[in-house]
Every structure is written in C-alpha cells, then in structure tokens.
C-alpha cells in the first residue's frame, strides 16, 4: 500500500504516518521516492495499538 492508501485506511494524516515511520513503529520500503507499506505490518501495528476491554 502507498502512503495515501494507508492514511485513508487508518484515518490518519500524512504527518502522523511519517512520524510512525520515523519512529520505526510502522515498517516501510522506499521505492523511487515513494513509501510503501505491507498490509501485514499495518495489521500487526493495529493489533498492538488496540486496547482490549472486558
């Protein structure tokens, strides 16, 4: 997924995504000046961020 797709899917801004990427929270690959993200990495990040309630 590219950055725009990730921002839409997670309902976050480009700057928030950039911050997560820079902190290493969400792994990415850079190809030709554009960042790409794997769906499984995003799913893992989301499951880690999700708070489970009783």
- HSE-up (13 A, CA, CB side) for residue 39: 2
Classify residue 23: in a domain, yes or no. Answer: yes
Classify residue 35: in a domain, yes or no. Answer: yes
The model's pTM is 0.80
pLDDT digit string, tens, across residues 1-46: 999 999 999 999 999 999 999 999 999 999 999 999 999 999 988 8
Asked whether residue 54 carries a pLDDT value surpassing 70, the answer given is no
Question: 12 near 49, Cβ under 8 Å?
Answer: no
Question: 45 near 26, Cβ under 8 Å?
Answer: yes
How many domains are contained in the chain? 1
Classify residue 54: in a domain, yes or no. Answer: no
Q: Which domain holds residue 16?
A: 3-49
Classify residue 26: in a domain, yes or no. Answer: yes
Classify residue 15: in a domain, yes or no. Answer: yes
pLDDT number for residue 48: 83
Question: Among 24, 23, 26, 29, which Cα is nearest to 9's?
Answer: 26
């Amino acid at each position: 997924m590219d950055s725009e797709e990730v921002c839409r899917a997670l309902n976050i801004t480009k700057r928030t995504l950039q911050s997560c990427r820079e902190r290493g929270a969400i792994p990415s690959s850079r190809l030709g000046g554009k960042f790409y993200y794997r769906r499984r990495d995003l799913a893992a990040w989301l499951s880690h961020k999700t708070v489970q309630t009783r």
